[in-house]
Amino acid sequence: MHKLSSSLNIQNENIEEYPELKSGPPPYHVFTKLGDYFVFDTSGCRFYKIDEPTYRFLQLCLELSIADAEKTLLKKGRFTPEVIKGVSEEVKLLSENGLFDVPDYSMSDEQIKKNLDNSYKTPIIGIELALAETCNLACTYCYCGTSRDLPNNGLMSEKIAHQAVMWLFDAAENAKIKKINITFFGGEPLLNKPVIRSIVEYSQLLAKQRGKKVSYFMTTNGTLLDDEFLAYAKKYNIDIMVSLDGPRKIHDPQCPMQNGKGSYDAATAGAKKLLLQHPANVRCTMTHPAPQLKELIDFFEDFGFKRSIIGPTINPIHSPSPVDFTEKDFAELSKQEEEFIPWILEKMASKEKIQYNPFDKFVGRIKNCAPKKDVKKCGACHGCTYVGADGSLFPCHRFGGMKEWQIGHISQESDYDRYKKFWTDYRKSLVSCESCWAWSICKGPCPWEILQQDGTFKNTTRFCEFLKARVEGAAYIYAWKQVHMPDNNGQKNNHNKNK
């Protein structure tokens, strides 16, 4: 995080020499967060912490020429000539460092192809297995019943499971990958415990034969976790995440059993057994109307979970539904997340674990931000290929069972051209994002959030203000960390050099 000094000594009073703003994406973005002022240099991918006069000046410069901005501030009597002089000098320094350069976020077909060709040099690192395309719960927000149009194939057979594992090992062998991931998914994967055991034993045998290392992951609603399986999971280091939506009054209405009764008792009993053996994360889904975050976080922290992953309910195919987040819900969530920033900083200062940090991903992107172009948003069609119960392949678990989004079958070799087409179509659907100041950090919506039933993408601005608020919150946290938590060697990183 760069911070402008307030006493620069630059001998250049001719503000008319400052460049005029060009068309296209904004050259910078100014914003306030919890009383501090920031500007984001879009072309250089840098945040600067600034003072209020500089903020006001740059804010006007997005609408007026720099000369007119100065005249406007003087005419309104907001600042004295001396203050304006100091501001213009700081803006001059920013200008020399590229603040008024207009970035070009567009990508040609050739650039997209080259980017994806490089990405797919190591295309497959793991699979998600639909061990059960059925569940013992009937969650009100589950997208499986509304999005999937292929037959529900129930439980994955041992034969299909072994074929899928062999498919993964063959793909890893061709790409010379040493570490691979297998995720047990559903529905509820623990409805198929015998096949889980068979997969682990078979993959361990192949790993020994081929010199690979396998990591195992699982997401479960927790109701079927028992001591016997947990002992087995501990033996093979299966990383288990529990889906739990909060206290009983929240969880039971959202996640009833198939018979309509609440699942809270069974889910929390299983989660408690898990936490006695190993730290675990929790996945919580919020429905309309937006709940109180503090109540959820306090509950999960008291329960003993290592980390909370909390997300709102959305369904791009049949939306809005009675449980989907509305624009008002997203606005309320943004407000609550901003109120959590001081709590996050307090935890950081005392080096305590942070139960919930929705800004963490963007803080990392700010730290490593560079004005580079990329196509892939996530590991879909790459690091998290989803295998349906019948062996059909999909970009990730959210696409599972959607006919027009099927990308192959485990009986066939990987169709990398089809995988690349998925990302090519995605990137071309985001042309409107190229005019947004936050593009280089946000990188666009989740592909599933903008899919269409017919196998195409259609971009939406539904999540934009929510995501941009998270980017701004992340910038505030990053600025605080540069002051209070420098790198281990005592030096601040390159994004913290004073200008």
Contact 383, 397 (CB under 8 A): no
CATH class of 114-221+281-421: alpha beta
The 10s digit of each residue's pLDDT in 209-257 is: 999 999 999 999 999 999 999 999 999 999 999 999 999 999 999 999 9
**How sure is the predictor about 101, in pLDDT bands with cuts at 50, 70 and 90?**
very high
Question: Alpha-carbon distance 101 to 99, whole Å?
Answer: 6
pLDDT at 40 over 70: yes
Contact 152, 133 (CB under 8 A): yes
pLDDT at 144 over 80: no
Contact 104, 22 (CB under 8 A): no
The predicted model gives 300-325 an average pLDDT of 91
The predicted model gives 13-32 an average pLDDT of 63
Question: Alpha-carbon distance 36 to 236, whole Å?
Answer: 48
What was the pLDDT predicted at 369? 83
Question: Alpha-carbon distance 141 to 80, whole Å?
Answer: 57
Better pLDDT: 453 or 370: 453
What was the pLDDT predicted at 489? 37
Domain ranges within the chain, ordered by starting residue: 2-104, 114-221+281-421
Question: Alpha-carbon distance 441 to 481, whole Å?
Answer: 18
What was the pLDDT predicted at 27? 94
What was the pLDDT predicted at 77? 79
What was the pLDDT predicted at 497? 37
pLDDT at 45 over 60: yes
pLDDT at 477 over 90: yes
pLDDT at 319 over 60: yes
What was the pLDDT predicted at 1? 63
pLDDT at 321 over 80: yes
pLDDT at 5 over 90: no
Peptide bond before residue 289 is cis, with ω within 30 degrees of 0: yes
The predicted model gives 190-200 an average pLDDT of 98
Q: How would you list the strands of the sheet with 281-286, edge to edge?
A: 307-312, 281-286, 238-243, 213-220, 179-186, 126-132, 385-387, 392-394, 408-409
The 10s digit of each residue's pLDDT in 372-428 is: 778 998 999 988 899 999 999 999 999 999 999 999 999 998 899 999 999 999 999
Better pLDDT: 111 or 177: 111
Q: Which residue do the tokens 């429905």 mark?
A: 287
Question: Alpha-carbon distance 164 to 467, whole Å?
Answer: 36
Please report, rounded to a whole number, the percentage of residues in the chain having pLDDT higher than 70: 91
**How sure is the predictor about 146, in pLDDT bands with cuts at 50, 70 and 90?**
low
